[in-house]
């Protein structure tokens, strides 16, 4: 029975090994199957796009024919017009109708069963194209028998063509990265260019058919011409070099040059002058020349679409090959595991049965020779030594029992020592807590003393400023007045240092808070007056905004610290410029620019990290005291500050004051925003400030709008 259980266990292990190999290969197989399914779906999508492009070309030709037919007065009954082409003079032929209907039926059928891969945009575009194709017959009947003009007929086809052209754009955006291509992304632009070129042909031919009497047709042709040029520019910017070369080599020649000349001549004015040579052009000649250029453009579009189909077909074939290789590899590994496991099972169960019989009755000879290099020989020899080992173990058991008694005694002694150490540890912990409480009390006392002394110094400085101000009012001697001004400026700087100490201590002085909103110009001037080299600071531009009184003093203090840094770390003869803008979302952005040597990138990142922390733990450890004060003041009011390197040298500090701190009437807001746009157009603000990461999404959109 035991042999049977062992055999069953080995077989179970063998089965588990095979299952494990299959399970290990399952994710790879699943991935390969998903890739193959995706590539097949993408191939069907690109084939659908190719059919949609072909149908779009056919419908564009039908639209142009219908527009010319209506422009000629729907005169098919009287015979073809010699001035029009054979197709455009008779409306839509039966063969053309059947061909377009077959193409539309194919696209509609494919759109109904098409798998869009969960892309909402692609599903919406395909659904829109299917619904638009359902109204094709109504559009034709309205064009042939309705009262509408040539422009009305032309416009009735436009939504249908736009829906078909939108398929290529939605497909390009739905492609995954492994299937994407620059030419696929450039396909929508080329599709728009081809569509607009077709529109130019249809509109101009229809206008010539009416003798130039319908000015809206020429106006629409002009707009189509501009749209085509924009689409071709986008195609040139996004397509690959090979696609651009293919377009340049295909859309060229005498026919293309003639078509360009015709377009320039016919779209030079929003109308065709009957007295000029414009209407002397034959509609058939215009149609032939413009169609030649259009057909070359369509050839490039069809070639790019076919290239997408070929590329995705190759991708699908590669996925099939990858799936086959993975299946073969997993099957090979499973067969190897099965074969090796079966061989190992047979090599174990046979000798194990013989060894088990010998274990039950060790009197017969050993089933293996003593010189055999079989792994079970060692087991048989171990059975012989087992009896000897049992006797020896019994003797050792007595010794181990004696050793156990000794270890128990040692354990009790160690437990007593451990209890004593725990008592000492508890006493040390209590002493540590007492010392921590004393240190906390001392720190609080020192902090309170520090704040009180600073407040006293600040009060004395305020009194000193008041006295100096009184002396300035009654002094008429220019030299003494200049000295008093220097003392006033020095006392102002001392007051700022005292306020900086309060900020670093976490305290706040409300003595200088204004009850009313303070104009931004006064806030900036107050900040300039608190630095040493205030004469180097130039105010370039400020809007007519105001700041709330509770934040005006802190904003002035923050600006003074940034100006101080700018003047200290820049050449003495250089200027420091201050700009300010009122953003569209109501925020105010100020910039302080210097012409210094700049800051290394690593150091600049450290400083910006400090400015992002509203409560830095160690003021002055990672930056100067000034930036530590700036960080705390910015965190107090939700102001965003960031330093940026300028391309022309120096550093610019960007400050964004939130909308909650800005007071500005609606009329002033609109006026300041216009000024903001003028300043931006004058290149007052350089690209480094505009690209500063400190601006949030609203601020960035405000600049884009301005």
pLDDT at residue 239 greater than cutoff 50: yes
- In terms of domains, do 24 and 167 share one? yes
Q: Dmax over Cα atoms in the chain, in whole Å?
A: 134
Question: Of the residues 494, 511, 528, which one is the last residue of a structural domain?
Answer: 511
Tell me the percentage of the chain whose pLDDT exceeds 70: 76
Question: Is residue 169 helix, strand or coil?
Answer: helix
Tell me the percentage of the chain whose pLDDT exceeds 90: 10
pLDDT at residue 87 greater than cutoff 60: no
CB-based contacts of 141, cutoff 8 Å, min separation 6: none
CB-based contacts of 699, cutoff 8 Å, min separation 6: 583, 585, 587, 589, 656
CB-based contacts of 55, cutoff 8 Å, min separation 6: 100, 103, 104, 106, 107, 164
- Residue 358 in any domain: the answer is no
Alpha-carbon distance of 95 to 516, in angstroms, equals 82
Alpha-carbon distance of 516 to 503, in angstroms, equals 23
Spacing of C-alpha 11 from chain mean position: 55
Q: How confident is the model at residue 372 (pLDDT cuts 50, 70, 90)?
A: low
Spatial strand order in the sheet of 576-582: 537-541, 576-582, 588-593, 651-657, 640-645
Torsions phi, psi for 684 (to 5 deg): -70, -40
- Alpha-carbon Rg for the chain, nearest whole angstrom, is 44
pLDDT of the residue at 359? 65
pLDDT of the residue at 200? 85
pLDDT of the residue at 688? 40
Weakest mean pLDDT among 278-292, 312-326, 360-374, 488-502: 360-374
Closest CA to 160 of 14, 57, 303, 301: 57
Closest CA to 616 of 634, 604, 628: 628
pLDDT at residue 578 greater than cutoff 90: yes
- In terms of domains, do 614 and 528 share one? yes
- In terms of domains, do 491 and 518 share one? no
Paired residues of 547 in beta bridges: 518, 662
Query: If 0-12 CB within 10 Å is exposed, 13-18 middle and 19+ buried, where does residue 639 land?
Result: buried
Q: Transcribe 637-699 into DSSP letters.
A: HT-EEEEEE-TTSSEEEEEEE-GGGEE--HHHHHHHHHHHHHHHHTT-S-HHHHT-TTS-HHH
pLDDT of the residue at 484? 77
pLDDT at residue 703 greater than cutoff 50: no
pLDDT of the residue at 673? 44
pLDDT of the residue at 295? 87
pLDDT in tens, 124-140: 888 888 888 888 888 88
Q: Which two tokens stand for residue 501?
A: 């100490």
pLDDT of the residue at 510? 58
Weakest mean pLDDT among 96-110, 219-233, 340-354, 403-417: 340-354
- Residue 122 in any domain: the answer is yes
- In terms of domains, do 318 and 393 share one? no
Contact call for residues 138 and 116 (beta carbons, < 8 A): no
Kindly report the number of other CB atoms within 10 A of residue 298's CB atom. Answer: 23
Q: What is the mean pLDDT of residues 480-500?
A: 77
Tell me how far CA of residue 518 lies from CA of 465, 511, 584, in angstroms: 21, 15, 20
Question: Of the residues 489, 511, 533, which one is the last residue of a structural domain?
Answer: 511
Place of tokens 């704040």: 451
Contact call for residues 583 and 676 (beta carbons, < 8 A): yes
- Residue 630 in any domain: the answer is yes
Alpha-carbon distance of 248 to 297, in angstroms, equals 10
pLDDT of the residue at 280? 45
Kindly report the number of other CB atoms within 10 A of residue 327's CB atom. Answer: 15
Alpha-carbon distance of 7 to 12, in angstroms, equals 9
pLDDT of the residue at 454? 66
pLDDT in tens, 99-127: 888 888 888 887 787 777 677 887 888 88
pLDDT of the residue at 75? 64
pLDDT in tens, 468-487: 878 778 778 888 877 877 78
- In terms of domains, do 112 and 259 share one? yes
pLDDT at residue 193 greater than cutoff 70: yes
Weakest mean pLDDT among 43-47, 224-228, 255-259, 462-466: 462-466
Closest CA to 137 of 62, 200, 228: 62
Closest CA to 557 of 608, 613, 626: 626
pLDDT at residue 250 greater than cutoff 70: yes
Weakest mean pLDDT among 12-21, 223-232, 421-430: 12-21
Alpha-carbon distance of 57 to 68, in angstroms, equals 17
The most confident of 125-139, 164-178, 554-568, by mean pLDDT: 554-568
- In terms of domains, do 210 and 110 share one? yes
- In terms of domains, do 59 and 107 share one? yes
Q: How confident is the model at residue 350 (pLDDT cuts 50, 70, 90)?
A: low
How is residue 365 annotated by DSSP?
Answer: P
Q: How confident is the model at residue 670 (pLDDT cuts 50, 70, 90)?
A: very low
Q: What is the mean pLDDT of residues 644-648?
A: 88
Q: How confident is the model at residue 658 (pLDDT cuts 50, 70, 90)?
A: very high
pLDDT of the residue at 652? 94
Q: What is the mean pLDDT of residues 555-560?
A: 91
CB-based contacts of 515, cutoff 8 Å, min separation 6: 549
DSSP H stretches of helix in 361-374: none
Contact call for residues 581 and 543 (beta carbons, < 8 A): yes
In terms of residues, how long is the chain? 706
Does the CA dihedral 498-570-640-660 come out positive or negative? positive
Alpha-carbon distance of 304 to 184, in angstroms, equals 8
pLDDT of the residue at 111? 78
pLDDT of the residue at 132? 83
Element at 591 (helix H, strand E): strand 588-593
- In terms of domains, do 529 and 566 share one? yes
Top-confidence residue, 578 or 503:
578
- Residue 338 in any domain: the answer is no
CA contacts within 13 A on the Cβ side of 615 = 4
Torsions phi, psi for 593 (to 5 deg): -115, 135
Question: Of the residues 511, 533, 566, which one is the last residue of a structural domain?
Answer: 511
pLDDT of the residue at 657? 94
- In terms of domains, do 499 and 571 share one? no
Beta strands, E only, 117-202? none
pLDDT of the residue at 211? 67
Task: State the residue range of the domain holding 603.
Answer: 514-705
- Residue 497 in any domain: the answer is yes
- In terms of domains, do 491 and 547 share one? no
Q: Which two tokens stand for residue 15?
A: 């089965």
pLDDT of the residue at 665? 57
pLDDT at residue 222 greater than cutoff 80: yes
Q: Which two tokens stand for residue 87?
A: 């197709």
- Residue 589 in any domain: the answer is yes
Query: What's the domain count of the chain?
Result: 3
pLDDT of the residue at 307? 81
Top-confidence residue, 642 or 614:
642
- In terms of domains, do 549 and 660 share one? yes
pLDDT at residue 581 greater than cutoff 90: yes
Kindly report the number of other CB atoms within 10 A of residue 330's CB atom. Answer: 18
Kindly report the number of other CB atoms within 10 A of residue 154's CB atom. Answer: 25
Top-confidence residue, 95 or 388:
95
- Residue 104 in any domain: the answer is yes
Beta strands, E only, 328-471? none
Place of tokens 């319908």: 214
Q: What is the mean pLDDT of residues 519-547?
A: 90
- Residue 348 in any domain: the answer is no
Contact call for residues 309 and 53 (beta carbons, < 8 A): no
Question: b/e map of 391-407 (b: 16 or more CB within 10 Å)?
Answer: eeeeeeeeeeeeeeeee
Q: Which two tokens stand for residue 83?
A: 């001035």
Kindly report the number of other CB atoms within 10 A of residue 176's CB atom. Answer: 11
Q: Which two tokens stand for residue 487?
A: 């003392």
pLDDT in tens, 174-191: 777 776 777 777 778 888
Average pLDDT taken over every residue of the chain: 77
- In terms of domains, do 168 and 267 share one? yes
């Amino acid at each position: 029975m035991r042999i049977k259980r062992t055999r069953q266990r080995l077989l179970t292990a063998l089965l588990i090994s095979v299952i494990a190999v299959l399970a290990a290969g399952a994710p790879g197989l699943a991935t390969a199957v998903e890739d193959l399914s995706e590539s097949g779906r993408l191939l069907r999508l690109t084939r659908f796009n190719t059919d949609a492009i072909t149908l779009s070309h056919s419908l564009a030709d039908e639209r142009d024919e219908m527009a010319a037919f209506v422009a000629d007065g729907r005169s098919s009954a009287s015979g073809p017009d010699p001035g029009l082409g054979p197709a455009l003079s008779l409306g839509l032929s039966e063969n053309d109708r059947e061909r377009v209907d077959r193409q539309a039926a194919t696209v509609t059928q494919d759109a109904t069963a098409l798998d869009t891969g969960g892309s909402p945009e692609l599903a919406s575009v395909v659904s829109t194209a299917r619904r638009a194709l359902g109204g094709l017959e109504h559009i034709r009947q309205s064009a042939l028998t309705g009262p509408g003009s040539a422009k009305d007929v032309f416009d009735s086809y436009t939504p249908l063509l736009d829906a078909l052209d939108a398929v290529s754009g939605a497909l390009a955006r739905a492609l995954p990265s492994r299937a994407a291509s620059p030419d696929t992304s450039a396909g929508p632009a080329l599709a728009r260019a081809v569509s607009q070129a077709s529109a130019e042909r249809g509109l101009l031919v229809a206008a010539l058919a009416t003798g130039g009497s319908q000015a809206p047709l020429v106006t629409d042709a002009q707009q189509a011409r501009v749209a085509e040029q924009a689409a071709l520019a986008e195609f040139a910017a996004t397509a690959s070099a090979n696609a651009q070369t293919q377009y340049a080599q295909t859309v060229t020649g005498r026919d293309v040059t003639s078509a360009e000349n015709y377009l320039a001549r016919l779209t030079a004015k929003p109308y065709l002058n009957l007295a000029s040579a414009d209407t002397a052009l034959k509609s058939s000649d215009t149609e032939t020349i413009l169609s030649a250029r259009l057909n070359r453009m369509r050839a490039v579009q069809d070639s790019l679409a076919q290239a997408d189909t070929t590329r995705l077909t190759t991708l699908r074939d590669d996925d099939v090959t990858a799936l086959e290789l993975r299946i073969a590899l997993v099957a090979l590994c499973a067969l190897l595991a099965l074969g090796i496991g079966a061989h190992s099972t047979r090599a174990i169960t046979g000798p194990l049965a013989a060894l088990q019989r010998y274990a039950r009755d060790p009197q017969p000879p050993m089933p293996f020779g003593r010189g055999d290099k079989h792994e079970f020989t060692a087991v048989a020899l171990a059975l012989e030594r087992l009896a000897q080992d049992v006797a020896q173990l019994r003797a050792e058991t007595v010794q181990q029992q004696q050793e156990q008694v000794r270890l128990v005694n040692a354990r009790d002694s160690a437990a007593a020592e451990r209890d004593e150490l725990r008592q000492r540890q508890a006493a040390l912990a209590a002493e540590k807590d007492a010392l921590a409480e004393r240190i906390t009390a001392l720190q609080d006392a020192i902090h309170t003393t520090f704040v009180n002394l600073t407040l006293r110094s600040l009060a004395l400085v305020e009194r000193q400023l008041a006295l100096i101000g009184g002396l300035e009012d009654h002094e008429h001697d220019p030299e003494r007045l200049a000295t008093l001004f220097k003392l006033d400026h020095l006392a102002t700087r001392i007051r700022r240092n005292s306020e900086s100490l309060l900020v670093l201590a976490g305290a706040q002085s409300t003595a200088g808070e204004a009850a009313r909103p303070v104009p931004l110009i006064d806030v900036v001037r107050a900040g300039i007056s608190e630095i040493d080299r205030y004469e180097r600071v130039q105010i370039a531009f400020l809007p007519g905004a105001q700041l709330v009184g509770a934040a005006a003093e802190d904003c002035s203090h923050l600006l003074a610290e940034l100006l101080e840094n700018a003047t200290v770390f820049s050449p003495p003869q250089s200027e420091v410029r201050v700009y300010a803008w009122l953003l569209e979302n109501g925020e105010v952005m100020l910039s302080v620019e210097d012409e210094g040597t700049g800051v290394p990138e690593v150091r600049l990142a450290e400083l910006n990290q400090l400015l992002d922390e509203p409560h830095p733990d160690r003021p002055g450890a990672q930056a100067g005291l000034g930036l530590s004060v700036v960080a705390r003041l910015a965190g107090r009011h939700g102001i965003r500050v960031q330093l940026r390197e300028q391309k022309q040298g120096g550093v610019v500090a960007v400050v964004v004051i939130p909308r909650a701190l800005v007071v500005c009437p609606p009329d002033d807001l609109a006026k300041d925003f216009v000024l903001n746009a003028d300043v931006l157009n004058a290149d007052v603000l350089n690209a480094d400030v505009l690209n500063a990461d400190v601006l949030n999404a609203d601020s960035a959109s405000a600049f884009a709008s301005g």
